[in-house]
Structure 1
């Protein structure tokens, strides 16, 4: 490229870094102070997000006397603390405003319920008739369950405690160590253990 070219002076090999603009100096807002106000302090209640700017000595003095609840009585302070525990969000009692929107049994509910909900603990405010949950009918035994009970020498009326007690008794009775190392009862012991494990897996004990 010719040094005499009109485009030579326009070529830049490196862009100069931009220097951040100097922040304007802020004076301390304390009366009669000429120091820089480098430290902010909250203005207080009803002025959230607004701050005073003080020097180090005046911000320390301000913090020692700062009281967010200044001018509030005990009842107002307790109400504020209670509201602060839920983030100052509106709340309502369970079964209060929402339960009033629902119609009593016999009519069509606002949300399309054809039958009143089961509310034994009156969570919805007692606007509905309560009914006890229906008890499930006991189901019949499966073949494997009946066979496992028979292996343990029990019938279908055995309780979980009886099944566990019978299992411990049979294990001791058929264990080879109690018969001088006789291994002829190992097959029977294996059946007992398998039967108990199956009953345990299906919730019998």
Structure 2
């Protein structure tokens, strides 16, 4: 913009005194003794006064911060403990492999005694945990057994899963004997071979105690 432009004369700059007056109205006075300048900066009052602040001007807030000591009045041992707890956000910690129940923290927080904590039960409004526990108790031993290769092969010969019960093995044996008996297949030799394999598998399962 040219200095002799008609627009240049229309620009008005607020005087310095007006700006200072506006600053004084916007900010409180500095709380440093003997200073009455505007105080737009806050400084914490210190330990034990969380959330409380002083209001200072820029010069005095710098001076205050340079001499500020949060640990003023604490012993060396207290300072070390504070710094150690600060690493975990001042939250309780436990050794690896332990939890709050092992240390009784949750029992204390809930107001329960040691005996009550030992008998703690989770909130289960729909009975989901109780149903799973009942299924685990009622699960037949056959479902958890470990089979030998020949036992597994014998069950496969009878077209049965590894979890088959004694009643299921007997019923399937009777069914297969009736189906593959030579009299039911017109003397077919292939049926006789299959029948022999079924009988051998059944006898082995019976000898192994699975029937």
TM-score by length of 2: 0.37
